[in-house]
Amino acid sequence: MRIAIIGSGYVGLVSGACFADFGHIVTCVDSDAAKIGALQGGKMPIYEPGLASLVESNVREERLTFSTDIVAAVDKAEAVFIAVGTPTRGDDGQADLRFVYDAAKEIAAAMKGFTVVVNKSTVPVGTGDEVERIIRAVNPGADFAVVSNPEFLREGAAIYDFKHPDRIVVGTDDPRAAALMHEAYRPLYLNAAPFLFTARRTAELIKYAANGFLATKVAFINEMADLCEKAGADVQDVARGMGLDNRIGSKFLHAGPGFGGSCFPKDTLALAQTARELGARITIIEAVAEANRTRKNRMAQKVIAACGDSVADKTVAILGLAFKQNTDDIREAAAIDIITALQSAGAKVRAYDPQAIEQARQVLTGVTFCQNAYLCAEGASALVIVTEWDAFRALDLARIKEALSEPIIVDLRNIYSPSDMRKRGFRYFSVGRQ
């Protein structure tokens, strides 16, 4: 099958490389000429484990190409996936669909023969209807179907997730489109990955319902952590005690600095706004978004408290800038808000991340970026662990203690044991534990 992917970011590039690996002929398109130029030169524009070699092998086998030319890519394609960004719009929290609608117009003008336009971007319910309307307006004679196929991959494990999905959701009532979607995902179908065929609007809502629910779990355990701190309890034991209940499950119950990334923050806001617009408010999601919004600043206050209630003219070392491990994505990352708040309180900040320093440089000012965790800790009054990179789980703590000017560690990911850290002579602060 010939596939065009419009938008070659975290989702588009991974999807394109995986579809090519399934045997399809794929063109990944992006309007960002620098990104396409890098990809054509064999350079990955993002860090995602395993992506470089998957792209390289499929390019070599001539199944995967990159282009800025949407017309050439679409006119040959049987399926065109839209994987452009849907960031938060203005002040109402709704998703900004400008990129989706622009892509729809360009696709409409270029499509030839029966074409399935697949929306992979996370979009509010009803967007598929609007994309269909746009295509019909631009190209009244076009033979096409618009399908919703939300993506559930996680950055950091994106290739595994794409190839081993918990489910593939396809929203369409068009039998030709359904058959084509089967064909696109054929290897997964043969592996018996569950396919869920639904109405298009239902598929659009499934994505938001799933992300909203996961974000709720995270926000819930974070507030339980605050309660544990006051109550003299341990949130990790609480989470384990909850998670062993099969009805609850243990995943997404790790207390921390608040969720970030390019999905949960914007998707909770968009879901809450959609619900308001349709007159069916989801107050739980509104509360989740608000709890998470204020949490990152409270984490900065936690650091300040750990430093004796002031960081003025003190140096704070930050380990981890990406919103989670195994990615270079810093969108809505807790580290960004925490660093900004610490700087406002007068702190000098040093920071290290295994992959995200280049991205962080573009949004932070006045930060000294370091080459490793030990150089980062050098002379700092406190070390703050913000991202749970594996490399931070096994630090040489004697070396860290030696480097710090005061032995203070604020572990916002609970990766070390409080009693062990105290034995090593640290003043150790974590989340929801004593």
Residue matched to tokens 């960002």: 32
- Phi/psi class of residue 308: alpha, beta or left (left: φ > 0; alpha: ψ in -120 to 50)? left
In the complex, least distance from residue 195 CB atom to ligand NAD, rounded to whole angstroms: 18
> What is the Cα–Cα distance from 157 to 329, expressed in whole angstroms?
13
- In this complex, which beta carbon is closest to ligand NAD, that of residue 285 or of residue 384? 285
In the complex, least distance from residue 93 CB atom to ligand NAD, rounded to whole angstroms: 14
> What is the Cα–Cα distance from 74 to 27, expressed in whole angstroms?
9
The Cβ-side half-sphere exposure at 333, using a 13 Å CA radius, reads: 28
In the complex, least distance from residue 174 CB atom to ligand NAD, rounded to whole angstroms: 22
- In this complex, which beta carbon is closest to ligand NAD, that of residue 102 or of residue 406? 102
In the complex, least distance from residue 135 CB atom to ligand NAD, rounded to whole angstroms: 14
- Per-residue buried b or exposed e for 238-267, using 16+ beta carbons within 10 Å of the residue's own CB: bbeebbeeeeeeeebbbbbbbbbbbbbbbb
- In this complex, which beta carbon is closest to ligand NAD, that of residue 260 or of residue 432? 260
- In this complex, which beta carbon is closest to ligand NAD, that of residue 155 or of residue 332? 155
Residue matched to tokens 């779990």: 217
Phi then psi for residue 344, to 5 deg, are -65, -30
Residue matched to tokens 């975290």: 10
- In this complex, which beta carbon is closest to ligand NAD, that of residue 10 or of residue 389? 10
In the complex, least distance from residue 84 CB atom to ligand NAD, rounded to whole angstroms: 4
Question: Which residues sit at the interface with ligand NAD, rule CB under 6 A?
Answer: 6-12, 29-32, 35, 83-86, 99, 102-103, 121-122, 151, 153, 155, 262-263
Nearest residue to ligand NAD, scored by beta-carbon proximity:
9
One-letter amino acid for residue 62 of the chain: E
- In this complex, which beta carbon is closest to ligand NAD, that of residue 151 or of residue 411? 151
Residue 165 is inside which H or E element, if any? none
81 bridge partner residues: 5, 118
In the complex, least distance from residue 229 CB atom to ligand NAD, rounded to whole angstroms: 31
Evaluate the CA torsion angle 423, 419, 391, 261 in order and state its sign: negative
In the complex, least distance from residue 373 CB atom to ligand NAD, rounded to whole angstroms: 26
234, 245 Cβ separation under 8 angstroms: no
Residue matched to tokens 């729809």: 104
In the complex, least distance from residue 122 CB atom to ligand NAD, rounded to whole angstroms: 4
**Would residue 18 show up in a list of annotated catalytic residues for this protein?**
no
From residue 140, give the alpha-carbon distance in Å to each of 90, 109, 143, 172, 248: 32, 10, 9, 20, 49
- In this complex, which beta carbon is closest to ligand NAD, that of residue 84 or of residue 364? 84
Question: Catalytic pick from 18, 28, 228, 263?
Answer: 263
> In terms of Cα–Cα distance, which of 364, 369, 367, 336 is closest to 352?
369
30, 41 Cβ separation under 8 angstroms: no
- In this complex, which beta carbon is closest to ligand NAD, that of residue 288 or of residue 347? 288
**Other CB atoms within 10 Å distance of the CB of residue 113:** 11
DSSP assignment of 238-290, as one string? HHHHHHTSTTT-STT----S---SSSHHHHHHHHHHHHHHTT---HHHHHHHH
* Catalytic residue positions, numbered: 263
